[in-house]
Amino acid sequence: MVTPLPMATPTLRSLARSLGLSRTTISDALRGSPRVNPKTVSRVRAAAEAAGYERNPLTAAVMSHLRRSSGQKFRGVIGAIEMIDGPQTDHAVRYNESVLAGVTERANRLGFKVERFQTSPDGVRLSRLDTILHTRGIQGLVILPVLAFPDFSSLSWPRYTAVYIDYLISHPPLHCVCSDHYRSMIALLQTLHARGYRRPGLYMEILHDERLHFRWEGAFLALQRYLPDIDAVPVLRLKSVTRDDFVAWFRKHEPDVVLGHKVEALAWMKECGAKIPKTHGFVCLNSLRTNNDCAALDFQAPQLGARAAELVIGQLLHNEFGVPAEPSLTTIPARLIEGPTLRTAAPKKRTAATAAG
């Protein structure tokens, strides 16, 4: 039997909360600091091991240096770069604003100011942006998410260090920070399974799947195979999912819970006779597309921005400039936001006694 995974990885904050200790005490205990009572050290390490927490010594050393710097005076400027390559959807704008808020808050705490720059074919081009950044002495860059596949290769990369806040960038290949879509889908399906759903259905537009190297679909298909008592429902995967496409798929395969990006699917499900959440469930795979009226996944955009700021500042402090030889990917799992479109527990099984009553 597959054991449901938690929706978030264990952190110093979560360990501190569960043990009733401060984050500083937790950190010192994990480092073996003599300032912490040996019994407390043993207790903290046992709890960390049980929770699956793993301390990265290199990351800890970098962040320790950053925290020591947080109370110092102004240290520099980070450029937040946004490429406008077409019409911007409302949820994309809201997402970038949330990411930028996380970048700004974390950078400010570490002594850095954030300046926002936009580049577009009809506005500031990359060549002009390159000159502006160089003139202002800005070397650390955080590149905000772009809907398509961005190309920043024309910037003078030997003088910059950067992190892209999305799954992948190839021109040039940079360090990236993004939501862990694969793990998030696995955790979501395990949660739904624990609540009694047995015919989950996924619908998505092809671009969403391709941008993430099929992370959503890959995790969905894997869990269809390995979760017990699951009935496989084919993925509805089209260039653009319309009402007619969805209704035909829903009526043919009869999923009992539906996952996808378009909240319009709720109305389409009701047209087919679904009574939500009594008979069917629905989860939007992007909370920014909702009005907080359904269950959804929150990509935790501010946390992504904060992590990107930390990485860029760490690279600046270590004089790491240019395109990295081995680009890395840092991921943070999404968080399930509960809503009226999901039941909160598995339905009780009817017994002979309850049926008779």
Sole residue written with tokens 């500083």: 24
β-partners of residue 238 are 205
Residue 105: phi and psi, rounded to 5, are: -60, -45
Q: Where residue 6 falls among pLDDT bands split at 50, 70, 90?
A: very low
**Sheet with 161-164: strands ordered across:** 112-119, 76-83, 140-143, 161-164, 175-179, 329-332
Cα angle, residue 221 at apex, residues 336 and 170 outer, rounded to 5°: 80
Residues of the chain with CATH 3.40.50.2300: 76-180+301-333, 181-298
Note the CATH architecture for domain 181-298: 3-Layer(aba) Sandwich (3.40)
Start-to-end CA distance of the chain, whole Å, equals: 33
Is there a cis peptide before residue 172, judged by omega within 30 degrees of 0? Answer: yes
Confidence of residue 34 (pLDDT cuts 50, 70, 90): low
Sign of CA dihedral 328, 155, 157, 308: negative
**Helices assigned H by DSSP within the chain:** 12-19, 23-31, 38-51, 57-69, 90-109, 126-136, 181-194, 206-211, 215-226, 243-253, 265-271, 301-317, 352-356
Kindly give, in sequence order, each residue whose CB lies less than 8 Å from that of residue 2, ignoring residues fewer than 6 positions away: 190, 193, 223, 226, 227, 228
The CATH code belonging to domain 76-180+301-333 is 3.40.50.2300
List C-alpha distances in Å: 145 to 73, 82, 93, 265: 30, 7, 10, 26
| Angstrom distance (rounded) from CA 353 to CA 332 | 47
**Whole-model pTM?**
0.76
Write the pLDDT tens digit of every residue in 228-237. Answer: 999 999 999 9
Q: Round the average pLDDT of the chain to a whole number and report it.
A: 88
Residue 115 main-chain phi, psi, to 5 deg: -115, 135
Share of the chain above pLDDT 70, in %: 88
Q: What is the pLDDT of residues 265-278, one digit of tens each?
A: 999 999 999 999 99
What mean pLDDT comes out for the span 107-118?
A: 95
- If you average pLDDT over residues 340-350, what whole number do you get? 82
Q: 312 or 73, which is more confident? A: 312
| Tens digit of each residue's pLDDT (9 = 90 or more) over 187-196 | 999 999 999 9
333, 8 in Cβ contact below 8 A? yes
Instruction: Check whether 356 has a pLDDT greater than 50.
Output: no
d(CA 224, CA 231): 7
Question: 245-293: per-residue pLDDT in tens?
Answer: 999 999 999 999 999 999 999 999 999 999 999 999 999 999 989 988 8
CATH number of the domain located at residue range(s) 1-51 in this protein:
1.10.260
CA 102 – CA 96 distance, rounded (Å): 10
Q: Are 296 and 337 in contact (CB under 8 A)?
A: yes
